[in-house]
Amino acid sequence: MDSAPFSIVIPAKNEAENLKALLAELIKLYPQAEVIVVNDGSTDSTVEICAANNVKCLTHKYSKGNGASIKTGARNASHDIIVFMDGDGQHQPADVARLLEQLGKGADMVVGARDNESQASFARLVANTIYNKLSSWISGQEIKDLTSGLRAVYKQKFKQFLYLLPNGFSYPTTSTMAFFRAGYSVEYIPIETRDRLGKSHINILKDGIRFFVIIFKIGTLYSPLKIFMPFSFFFFLVGFLYYLYTFLSAHTFTNMGVVLFTTSIIIFLIGLVSEQITTLIYKDSEY
């Protein structure tokens, strides 16, 4: 499959120094590929670097976010297969061929899963481990690297979920969960990343909290009852224990007990309705 034409989409914001080496290596390894750099409001020489390497450059007049750049690239890709990779130079171009090979074996999306040594910091390693465990529980599938930006996918299947993708850094999270929910196959290959030049645009605290919000948001789209049921059970259990306490101590059923039981029922019903809505959202998927 690596001899067939495909598109490579690279979101980039002020990554000119990293793009110099990355683009040259990609062009050398994959002359058949359409390379698209989405310039997300950069103030450096990103446009000039793209022109020097004769690759397509799509420019946002102002910064819209990593996810918005991915959507722009996907909409403008010419070929049926798209490889997404970061513009910071951490992904190794040689891994693209491995992604395409695995995609050709029947997968709908192939993701490059980083090992522990490839994490940017210990804090990032801990955070990504938690993300992977939590999302695996929500989806019922093993997710080896939820936030990896290196992935190969069929364009038409990916474009089904563009409306779900946020404009920020969490497009990998959303696309992975959406593919699992739609019944598409997602597979992983191990990769090692390189050190980047310059400073990362990701804020550990700010974007870490945002990732958790996105996971729960996608959880309500993927399997809402898995999110709502624990909360419903918690309120039911508290209400039941409170009822036992008031009954044994005062032989009464208090208003607070009613509130707790009612809250439990309402949360369960919200989860049930959300489950039906989720089914409608994905009813037009091809799988």
Q: What is the residue-level pLDDT of the chain in tens, covering all 287 positions?
A: 557 899 999 999 999 999 999 999 999 999 999 999 999 999 999 999 999 999 999 999 999 999 999 999 999 999 999 999 999 889 999 999 999 999 999 999 999 998 766 555 566 667 777 777 877 787 778 888 888 899 999 999 999 989 888 887 678 888 888 888 888 999 999 998 887 665 555 555 666 676 677 667 767 767 788 889 999 999 999 999 999 999 888 888 889 989 999 999 999 999 888 888 877 766 655 54
Give the span between the Cα atoms of 261 and 232, in whole angstroms. Answer: 9
Cα separation, 177 vs 139, whole angstroms? 7
186-205: b (≥16 Cβ within 10 Å) or e: bbbbebebeebeeeeebeee
Q: State the fold for domain 7-222.
A: Spore Coat Polysaccharide Biosynthesis Protein SpsA; Chain A (3.90.550)
Residue 62's φ and ψ, nearest 5 degrees, are -140, 160
Alpha-carbon distance of 117 to 102, in angstroms, equals 23
Instruction: List the structure tokens of 249.
Output: 């101590």
Q: What is the pLDDT, as a whole number, of residue 116?
A: 62
- Partners of 83 in the beta sheet? 8, 152
Residue 236 burial (C-beta neighbours within 10 Å; 0-12, 13-18, 19+): middle
Kindly tell me the burial class for residue 62, based on how many C-beta atoms sit within 10 Å of its own C-beta (0-12, 13-18, 19 or more): exposed
Taking the C-alpha atoms of residue 152 and residue 188, their distance in angstroms, rounded to an integer, is 10
Question: Which pLDDT value is given to residue 223?
Answer: 79
Amino acid found at 267? I
* Cα three-residue angle 57-63-68, rounded to 5 degrees: 70
Q: Which residue has the tokens 């989806």?
A: 139
Residues contacting residue 52 through CB under 8 Å, at least 6 positions apart: none
CA of 265: how far to CAs of 144, 222, 224, in Å?
A: 35, 21, 15
Three-class secondary structure of residue 81 per DSSP: strand
The pLDDT value recorded for residue 184 is 92
User: What gap in Å lies between CA 125 and CA 133, rounded to an integer?
Assistant: 12
Task: Supply 44's token pair.
Answer: 């450096």
Task: Please report where in the chains the tokens 């999110």 appear, as a residue.
Answer: 227
Look at residue 287 in the predicted model and tell me its pLDDT: 43
Exposure of 234 in the CB half-sphere (CA atoms within 13 A): 6
